[in-house]
Structure 1
Amino acid sequence: MKTRMSRCSTKSTPEPEVLGACKTETPRGETLTLQLSVSAQLPQGTNCLACSEDGMYLSLGHSRGLSVWCASSLSCVAEWLQDTLEITNIQMCRMAEAVYLLSTVDDMGVARVFIYHSERIHLLSVINVMENVNKRSICLAFELSEGGLYGVASLKCSGDVWLEIYHFPTQAWLKELEKESSNNQDQNLSGNVDLKWSPVEVSKIKPPKTPAGLTLQSPDKVLNKTDFYMHCLSLDIETEGRPFSEQSGKTNAANGSYSLTEFFYRHCTHHFLLPCGQFPGDNKTNSNRGSPVAVCVWWSGSHNLLQYSLKNKPDVEPIPDMIWPNAQEILCSAVSTCTRFIAVGLKGAMLCVWDRQSGAPLAVVVVSAADVFSKVQFLDDGPESADDCQSLTAAEVSLLLVCKSGIIHRVSVGRGKQPFTVQLTERPKDNRDLITVTASVPFLQGLLLMVQRNGKIVLQDVTCQTNVCFLIPTASHLITTPCSPVYTLSTKQQTLFIQGDPKPSCSSLSEGESQSQLFTFHFGDSDIVKKFIISLPDSSQLQTVSCVNLEESCNLYLEQRALSVDERHKSVTDTWKRLQETALALQQECSRSAAS
């Protein structure tokens, strides 16, 4: 294992294309570069990397299983190995003191749940057991909630896609883990004792469907339906002569009506939601502080966000507690750190930000770009204080919109405020310059970490639209698969961990250096980046207020309205002033036109 200190270099001569990409210059006109540190040699075939929320451990998925490393010493503390098992996705969360839950997905689409404690890894459950190879389900995505109380997996089998919600018996697992540890310490027992872990409770969410035999006439008659849920689902039907999917029904050409059967969706996207105090499931006291109470789901081709409570019984098919309808088809989505705000990127270059506290859109913005959104994410989305998160008059929220063409926009919105949009990047002339990763760094004020297809790593200041610096590996290595780099950010340690591979052209490497390396960069060690570091509030302070009944919710709303009367009055005055100025300008233009 080799260790080097991160260093700042203003006199080194990087590759020409790297110099051309960086616009930030020192007073002497020299480009700033920050070199990544070679910290450790990675296991062969490392595919994924994750860091625990407390910054204590790293988890690695590779071609023989998974490993857990100490994040400070970068030494392996535990392994779970199995030949021919290749882990392609991994996540790690802290379940209790010194106890961590891990979720994995392998290259065959099998999802598993592990627990790590006292330098040992135990397999708790295989999510989708392959009982029949011909009818096996494939896991497309698997995510753990913070604290490890819930898990959500997207599964596919024979063309059908559905979502499964898992309620993990964390208290039972902790007791069983304690029993297992005591058995291992008992010298009278010979060999390991097989322990049967408590089963996981599962509830399934299927794509929404309309009742069999229901016939919808023309779109204007759909608007007369009294069932709001059915009305929102009807918006997901294409009205240009055919249904949304060719498998969803047949079009009656005579009268233009649709005979609807079950919809066929290709994939779904989900987000965990914390208590927000206004909707079903939010008003119940949660014994696990910071644990989610609902999950928000949308299916490809849909206009609607569907909110499901996590308190549903496993044997009852969940139904949505809340529907967030949108005017256009959803392309991408994101939630803020406190999950009060939900942003959806829609067709037609439209962005909608929903406020769960008020139950209404915070803003609807049409971005002036003839492009298609591929990603939306929040920037600096944490409220400055708990009062900001509880207030119905929310402070300004900033978002990042990534387009398929490579153009990136920053959008700032707020209640009663004019939306502000600025374009951060131009459409790249070369496909190698296309940005593949855009990650906000929570502990760096206004900075964005970007990875390009050519392997360049840039820290950009989104406020002044300049590159602060770029990070480069050693001369003998390249960033692994820049289109999908293997990396993770540790907020607690303020460190970037990223995988690098040796250059094919470099033949003078030792045996250890010829394998994949783990590169690190400690942001606090650089004077260039240190000035951007901010202290983050405790996540427990970001919990929104919870109302136990409708009366308290109304009282909160009226209280916030009273507190915001001056701000709303100023907003109305400014709007009226702008209208008068616009009307006057139009009158003057008409007078000049008439005179000419």
Structure 2
Amino acid sequence: MEATYKTDQLREKTPTLELRPVTQLPENTNCLACSEDGRFLGLGHSRGLSVWCASSLICVSEWLQDSLEITSVQMSRIGEMTYLLGTVDDMGVARVFAHHFDTIHLLDVINVMEDINKRSICLTFELHEGGHYGAASLSCNDAVWLEIYHFPSAVWLEELERALSKKQDPNSSGDVDVKWSPVTVMIKIKPPKIPIGRAFSGPPEVSQTTDYLTRCLALDVIMRSSRQWQKSSFNAETGKTKEANESPRRCTQHFLLPCGHFPGSSEANFQPGLPVAVAVWWSGSQNLLQYVLQKAPKNKADVESMPAVLWPNAKEILCSAVSRYTRYIALGLDDALVCVWDRLSGAPLSVVRVPVENSAIIRMQFVDYWSVSADDSETFAAEKVHLLLQCKSGEIHTVTTGRGTQSCTMQLIERPEDNRDLPSVIMPVPFLQGLSLVLQRNGKMFLQDVINKTPVCFLTLPTIHLVTTPCSPVYALSTTQHTLFIRGDQDSSCSVSSEDSSQSQLFIFRFKESDVIQQYVVSHPDSPRQQQTLSYVTLQENCNAYLQQRALSAAERNKDIRKTWERLQETAATLQQKQ
């Protein structure tokens, strides 16, 4: 009762800021995406795809097709005025478009339906920043696999320029038919399975490595099958075992930038800003797998790819996240465990147990922009990582950890009593120091201070409007323009009725215009220290960096050892007194 009273008092003191309606949206707008430079908005709706100018909010180009509903859209800039758009429609078809000088071109269809009995459905589709690579999770007849694509961005830019020149030619007939360069499948990854009668060839060290990876993958499959069997229930009356309903396997992937030294890497292959590997894990698995991004030989296009690195874990992986420069990979494991892997050293940075009861970790994110003390900024050894965790129960926790430092967990939001108060969106806002945007299922939005554990302000739509489908809101955050775009509908309980009022509207909130938020706005340049750590591409440089880090953290580690020894002595003394 007292806690509820304090919460109500806190809400009364917290300011409320109103979002501004700006324009109507196309019918059934399902998704929004903002370009990295903040110039354009991509909108997927029931008639196709539209691109708007983010400042004037005027439609500049459209790709329309009847009975085609876009449900997912992403944008990535590949040129001065050229952007790639990756979409998935309601039939599970993935497409790649280009927006070039106010015109949308369809470049490629990822999963073309050639045979209706073998039609593949796209489950997820991701464009990597820069538009050079993409990843799609596909399924067909209960089979699931992951494909990594290489996009010929430079060639597409030349083809788009030629198409624009032909279109502007006064002697041209108007429509320009261009045969665009195709997308290349680099890697095809399937869920691990137990190999039967597999033969290994090559040098002994390569065969031993491959054999070790294969055995680890096979063990993972066996353990997953064991867990499925344990979930099965036995009926004593019928004498039969009821099999547990096995959900289709899903995979999660992360593109990885150059960092450290791993098998298959080469300094000659490194290009600034481009990934060199992809990390993959499958639902029900305990292993994180790393594959090198390299084109498959033409005569071996169907050969199943083997991982270059395997990162084993003690429990089943439930969720994951990568840091800004992909040096750290955080995994949310079963039994409320968090494991952070350091790609530079090739070892776990730390393993932390989150104090949460009967609830699994379902989502996690790195918080890059955290307040840093003067002492921490002076030493390389004091580098810390900060994570934001969301549990299935609705609890939200923060984790701070690092090598040579004591890990710390803190509960940010307690388990809600009402299911409508469960968070549907929680994400760190990169340009606001220590703030996260939280959107609940009941439609309430607020900015939460993850350091002081208090709400900074509530964000609300005008009185007669509500956030559309707050369980799965349609929104986009422009980190360049510091603006939130979100879809809202008129409240059905209001008596106002007209054609315009029934149409969904786009609402915006510009964070810099609020005095309440202005004090939190930050602009962090890329860390020179972090950029330097990513440049270690030889084994010798990697070892030198690790030894340097160990030397710098010696004092902190000795301090922790003394504290641990003191606690052990206190515990021993307590036990002796009881005897």
Which bracket does the TM-score occupy, shorter chain normalised? Answer: 0.7 to 0.9
Equivalent residue number for residue 545 of structure 1: 534
Summarize the Cα distance change of 1:37–1:540 in structure 2 as closer, same or farther, 3 Å threshold.
farther
How much does 1:131 deviate? 1.4
How much does 1:277 deviate? 2.8
Where does 1:105-184 land on structure 2 (aligned, <5 Å)?
Answer: 105-184=88-167
**What stretches of structure 1 of length at least 5 have no aligned partner?**
1-17, 215-223, 247-262
The alignment partner of 2:182 has SS state of: coil
Whole-Å separation in 2 of the counterparts to 1:68 and 1:85:
16
Where does 1:559-574 land on structure 2 (aligned, <5 Å)?
Answer: 559-562=548-551, 564=552, 567-572=553-558, 574=559
- Select which of 540, 546, 552 maps to 1:557: 546
Is 1:37 the counterpart of 2:24? The answer is: no
Whole-Å separation in 2 of the counterparts to 1:163 and 1:419:
35
How much does 1:560 deviate? 3.8
Whole-Å separation in 2 of the counterparts to 1:281 and 1:97:
33
- Select which of 323, 338, 341 maps to 1:336: 323
The superposition leaves residues 129-181 of structure 1 with CA deviations (integer Å, 9 ceiling, x where unpaired) of: 11122210000000001100000000000000000111111111111111101
The superposition leaves residues 465-499 of structure 1 with CA deviations (integer Å, 9 ceiling, x where unpaired) of: 11111100011110000000001110000111111
The residue identity in structure 2 corresponding to 1:578 is K
Equivalent residue number for residue 521 of structure 1: 509
Equivalent residue number for residue 47 of structure 1: 30
How much does 1:402 deviate? 1.0
Summarize the Cα distance change of 1:213–1:327 in structure 2 as closer, same or farther, 3 Å threshold.
same
Aligned partners of 1:271 and 1:296 also within 8 Å: yes
- Select which of 572, 577, 589 maps to 2:562: 577
Whole-Å separation in 2 of the counterparts to 1:275 and 1:173:
25
How much does 1:82 deviate? 0.3
Summarize the Cα distance change of 1:428–1:559 in structure 2 as closer, same or farther, 3 Å threshold.
closer
Aligned partners of 1:308 and 1:321 also within 8 Å: yes
Summarize the Cα distance change of 1:225–1:111 in structure 2 as closer, same or farther, 3 Å threshold.
closer
The residue identity in structure 2 corresponding to 1:477 is H
Summarize the Cα distance change of 1:282–1:363 in structure 2 as closer, same or farther, 3 Å threshold.
same
Whole-Å separation in 1 of the counterparts to 2:442 and 2:518:
27
Summarize the Cα distance change of 1:283–1:77 in structure 2 as closer, same or farther, 3 Å threshold.
same
Is 1:204 the counterpart of 2:193? The answer is: no
How much does 1:121 deviate? 0.3
How much does 1:245 deviate? 5.6
Whole-Å separation in 2 of the counterparts to 1:72 and 1:357:
41
Where does 1:7-406 land on structure 2 (aligned, <5 Å)?
Answer: 24=10, 30-202=13-185, 203-212=187-196, 227-237=211-221, 243=226, 266-280=249-263, 282-285=265-268, 288-313=271-296, 315=301, 316-370=303-357, 371-380=359-368, 393=381, 395-406=383-394
The superposition leaves residues 85-120 of structure 1 with CA deviations (integer Å, 9 ceiling, x where unpaired) of: 000000001011111000000000000000001100
Aligned partners of 2:466 and 2:489 also within 8 Å: yes
Relative to its length, the structure with more helix (as a share) is 2
Equivalent residue number for residue 495 of structure 1: 483
Number of aligned residue pairs: give it: 540
Equivalent residue number for residue 11 of structure 1: none
Is 1:443 the counterpart of 2:428? The answer is: no
How much does 1:551 deviate? 2.9
Whole-Å separation in 1 of the counterparts to 2:543 and 2:94:
44
Structure 1 window deviating more from structure 2 (135-144 vs 420-429): it is: 420-429
How much does 1:211 deviate? 1.4
Task: State the TM-score, normalized to the length of structure 2.
Answer: 0.88
Equivalent residue number for residue 478 of structure 1: 466
How much does 1:302 deviate? 0.6
Aligned partners of 2:92 and 2:123 also within 8 Å: yes
Aligned partners of 1:282 and 1:546 also within 8 Å: no
Aligned partners of 1:68 and 1:78 also within 8 Å: yes
The superposition leaves residues 194-234 of structure 1 with CA deviations (integer Å, 9 ceiling, x where unpaired) of: 100001111311112221169xxxxxxxxx99943134224
**What stretches of structure 2 of length at least 5 have no aligned partner?**
199-207, 230-245
Whole-Å separation in 2 of the counterparts to 1:280 and 1:136:
36
How much does 1:513 deviate? 3.1
Whole-Å separation in 2 of the counterparts to 1:294 and 1:323:
13
Summarize the Cα distance change of 1:540–1:207 in structure 2 as closer, same or farther, 3 Å threshold.
farther
The alignment partner of 2:485 has SS state of: strand
The residue identity in structure 1 corresponding to 2:393 is S
How much does 1:548 deviate? 4.4
Is 1:412 the counterpart of 2:400? The answer is: yes
CA RMSD across the alignment: 2.7
> Identity of counterpart residues, as a percentage?
57
Aligned partners of 2:259 and 2:537 also within 8 Å: no
How much does 1:32 deviate? 1.1
Aligned partners of 2:382 and 2:405 also within 8 Å: no
Aligned partners of 2:405 and 2:556 also within 8 Å: no
Aligned partners of 1:312 and 1:318 also within 8 Å: no
The superposition leaves residues 55-108 of structure 1 with CA deviations (integer Å, 9 ceiling, x where unpaired) of: 111100000001001111111111000000000000001011111000000000
How much does 1:191 deviate? 2.5
The alignment partner of 1:579 has SS state of: helix
The residue identity in structure 2 corresponding to 1:467 is P
The alignment partner of 1:114 has SS state of: strand
Whole-Å separation in 1 of the counterparts to 2:434 and 2:118:
48
Structure 1 window deviating more from structure 2 (309-318 vs 408-417): it is: 309-318
Summarize the Cα distance change of 1:229–1:393 in structure 2 as closer, same or farther, 3 Å threshold.
farther
The residue identity in structure 1 corresponding to 2:354 is V
The residue identity in structure 2 corresponding to 1:363 is S
Aligned partners of 1:166 and 1:200 also within 8 Å: yes
Whole-Å separation in 2 of the counterparts to 1:495 and 1:515:
22
How much does 1:554 deviate? 2.8
The alignment partner of 1:182 has SS state of: helix
Aligned partners of 1:358 and 1:392 also within 8 Å: no
The alignment partner of 1:553 has SS state of: helix
The residue identity in structure 2 corresponding to 1:111 is A
The superposition leaves residues 18-44 of structure 1 with CA deviations (integer Å, 9 ceiling, x where unpaired) of: 99976646xxx6441000110111111
Aligned partners of 1:336 and 1:382 also within 8 Å: no
Task: State the TM-score, normalized to the length of structure 1.
Answer: 0.85
Structure 1 window deviating more from structure 2 (85-94 vs 125-134): it is: 125-134
Aligned partners of 1:337 and 1:381 also within 8 Å: no
The superposition leaves residues 399-440 of structure 1 with CA deviations (integer Å, 9 ceiling, x where unpaired) of: 111111111111110101111011111111111111111111
Aligned partners of 1:95 and 1:147 also within 8 Å: yes
Whole-Å separation in 1 of the counterparts to 2:163 and 2:270:
26
Whole-Å separation in 1 of the counterparts to 2:331 and 2:565:
33
Aligned partners of 1:271 and 1:295 also within 8 Å: yes
Equivalent residue number for residue 432 of structure 1: 420
Whole-Å separation in 1 of the counterparts to 2:292 and 2:154:
21
